[in-house]
């Protein structure tokens, strides 16, 4: 795949991220703001060999691939990765809450006095 095509697809993804409300909400939840969409796309998509392979297979498999099908592919891929990222964030938050609760419980046990 040529560099020009990658730039074209990256631009298409950026416009999707800016215009699609569902993707915007996922980006906000995951902490990605509009000025770093390039970093998001580079880190999670266009440097990922699996994503590039899927894209090449899609492009080579369908001769009548129109813009809507490409956008659908990009939206599904972006949505899937952002949902995974949001689940990771939720997991980290819950784990942090559990650790905090356990530490508080241990402190309460240590500070408990039977006879005062």
63 or 83, higher pLDDT: 83
d(CA 45, CA 10): 9
Q: How far is CA 3 from the centre of its chain?
A: 24
What is the DSSP annotation of the chain?
--HHHHHHHHHHHHHHHHH-HHHHHHHHHHT--GGGHHHHHIIIIIT-HHHHHHHHHHHHH-TT--HHHHHHHHHHHHHHHHHHHHHHHHHHHHHHHHHHHHHHHHHHHHH--S--
Distances in whole angstroms, Cα of residue 101 to Cα of each of 95, 98, 104, 112:
10, 5, 5, 16
Each residue's pLDDT tens digit, 74-94: 999 999 999 999 999 999 999
Average pLDDT, the chain: 88
Each residue's pLDDT tens digit, 15-27: 999 899 999 999 9
pLDDT category, 116, cuts 50, 70, 90? Answer: low
Q: What is the pLDDT of residue 5?
A: 83
Each residue's pLDDT tens digit, 33-50: 777 788 888 888 998 999
């Amino acid at each position: 795949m040529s560099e020009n095509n990658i730039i074209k697809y990256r631009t298409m993804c950026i416009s999707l991220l800016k215009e699609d409300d569902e993707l915007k909400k996922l980006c906000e939840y995951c902490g990605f703001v509009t000025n770093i969409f390039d970093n998001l796309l580079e880190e999670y998509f266009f440097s990922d060999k699996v994503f590039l392979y899927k894209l090449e297979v899609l492009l080579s498999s369908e001769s009548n691939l129109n813009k809507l099908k490409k956008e659908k592919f990009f939206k599904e891929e972006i949505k899937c990765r952002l949902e995974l990222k949001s689940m990771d964030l939720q997991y980290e938050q819950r784990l942090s809450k559990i650790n905090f609760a356990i530490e508080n419980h241990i402190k309460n046990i240590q500070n408990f006095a039977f006879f005062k």
